Amino acid sequence: MAIERSLVGLQVVEGEKWGCLGVRMVAFEFTANSQEVIPMRRKAYRSVAVKDVNVAEVASWLGAGGAWVGVDVSKQALLAVVRNVQGDWQRPWKVQQPAEIPQFVEMLKPLAAGRRLVVAVESTGTYGDALRQALSDAGIEVHRVRSTASSDYAEIFDGVPSQHDGKDAAVLAELAAAGKSQPWPCQPRSSEEGTLHGEVVWMDTQQDILQLWLGRMEALLGRHWPEATGVLPLTSGTLRRVLEEYGGPGALAQDPQAAEKLAPWGKRFLKPEKIERLLAAARTTAGVRMSAADQELMRRIAHEAREAQTKIDRSKKILEQATQKNETLQRMAQAVGRVTACVLWTTLGDPREYSCPAAYRKGLGLNLRERSSGKHQGHLKITKRGPSLARRWLYFSALRAIQRGAVRNWYERKKERDQGRGGKGVVAVMRKLALAVYAVAARNEQFDPGRLFPGRPRPATSQRTRAVLEAMESEAMELI
């Protein structure tokens, strides 16, 4: 590759090999109107089909010492790059998904004979699970590399900020060789974990479906019955029942038995005064008159929303029952509720497997990052480098927490300091709840909302001291 430049000098000094591409650094003393030539291997990331690879030649090339294979996974193909202990690379091997996975694994077996062979993949998506299972069944060591690590290392790797499949595979191998990976064997879920995972996925999917239908319902109500949400919230089960039954305000206003029907639907939460307000809103609405087709659409949307809510409630009951069989989940539920505890367990695993509270919070993507330079002082923001599903349900727990006790008092003061904006306060509660989950699960502490926020520290109470205090309390009760 030649680059035209205005240069001075003509002496060339060739340097040492640099990086995986065989690039050689070239120093110049320049003169005018000369060219700078940067020699490098052409098409270093051009792939070769896995069926065309000579395994014996690769084994001889590896020599003594370990070997690392970085695998970039996509839906239709895998790209694998082999790295030896000297830091040299093979061109990427292209493996068709899933037809050529068995052949690829069989090719790796002789490479693993007599040496440590590590296959590194990114911990994203599910397209690589079939490969992980095949490698684990063959006894080949599988590691995972965080996607953020490979992304951050891309420019350091070869001096070019570009990212593509072949380069990503080489980066994975490099990071694994540098010890920046963790073991990731494919292990089947236990019966309990399988139940939790299935119900969490089903519940969250139904939650997304419910939000979709509620959005449609809100749009129709805004057009045909805007007063309705001023009486009953959009999330009200009674409002959905009314819309499914009547399809709109017109039919509701014309039914003389409407008040008697609404009372058992809302039960004790729906007072007679609110029923009368809803009926009055139906009789005097300023919304656009509904056609028969509009009413039928409203009925169908309300029905689907009710069905989604029913499925969510059913999954929540199953998850709540599952917590009763797991002592750690019961302790986690003290801080965030039983359903959120199951979500955190499914997405992040057992909190006791983390080294410290900060590591658990970092796994949630709730650790802070800052971008500042010179006089520019950047704002602190959470990294969001973790499962969004876990953060979403922890957010729901934080919203419940700020409605009561000491947490509410702190939140109101924080909101006032932030000029009425409550978002940062909710995130702060989420970060504290993450630490609380670790404390109750890994350290067997009792959850106390008063300890979530700064103040006079309370003396730590050991498990033995708590047992003594409970015994003294029981003796005092007997004397009374």
Given the structure tokens 């700078």, which residue do they identify? 36
Residue 40 has a pLDDT of: 44
pLDDT at 319 exceeding the cut of 90: yes
DSSP string, 363-386: HTT-SEE---BTTB-PPPEE---S
pLDDT at 1 exceeding the cut of 60: no
3-state secondary structure of 3: strand
Could you tell me the residue ranges of all domains in the chain?
Answer: 2-37, 48-183, 194-319, 333-474
Q: Supply the pTM of this predicted model.
A: 0.76
**3-state DSSP percent of the chain in helix, strand and coil, to 5:** 55, 15, 30
Q: One fold for both 48-183 and 194-319? A: no
Report residue 359: phi and psi, to 5°: -65, -40
Given the structure tokens 């119900």, which residue do they identify? 199
Packed helices 405-417 and 423-442: angle between N→C axes, nearest 10 degrees:
150
pLDDT single digits (tens) 356-377: 999 999 999 998 988 887 877 7
Query: What number is the average pLDDT over the span 406-414?
Result: 88
Q: Tell me how far apart the alpha carbons of residues 27 and 14 are, in angstroms, rounded to a whole number.
A: 7
Choice between 428 and 477, residue whose per-residue pLDDT is larger: 428
CA angle, 310 then 312 then 314, to 5° = 70
pLDDT band for 463, please (50, 70, 90 cuts): low
Q: Quick one: CATH architecture of 194-319?
A: Orthogonal Bundle (1.10)
Query: What number is the average pLDDT over the span 5-22?
Result: 38
Query: What number is the average pLDDT over the span 20-43?
Result: 42
Residue 339 has a pLDDT of: 94
Q: Tell me how far apart the alpha carbons of residues 439 and 343 are, in angstroms, rounded to a whole number.
A: 17
Q: In the numeric block, which tokens belong to residue 188?
A: 């089947």
Topology (CATH) of 48-183: Nucleotidyltransferase; domain 5 (3.30.420)
Could you tell me which residues come within 8 angstroms of residue 13 by beta carbon, excluding any fewer than 6 positions away? 26, 27, 28
pLDDT at 410 exceeding the cut of 50: yes
Choice between 114 and 11, residue whose per-residue pLDDT is larger: 114
Choice between 479 and 290, residue whose per-residue pLDDT is larger: 290
The residue type at 32? A
Query: What number is the average pLDDT over the span 13-27?
Result: 40
pLDDT at 23 exceeding the cut of 80: no
Query: What number is the average pLDDT over the span 233-258?
Result: 94
Instruction: For the chain, give the mean pLDDT.
Output: 84
Residue 35 has a pLDDT of: 43
| CB-count burial class (<10 Å; 0-12, 13-18, 19+) for 475 | exposed
Task: Of 268-277, 300-309, 369-378, give the lowest mean pLDDT range.
Answer: 369-378
Query: What number is the average pLDDT over the span 207-214?
Result: 96
Q: Left (φ > 0), alpha (ψ -120 to 50) or beta: where does 301 sit?
A: alpha
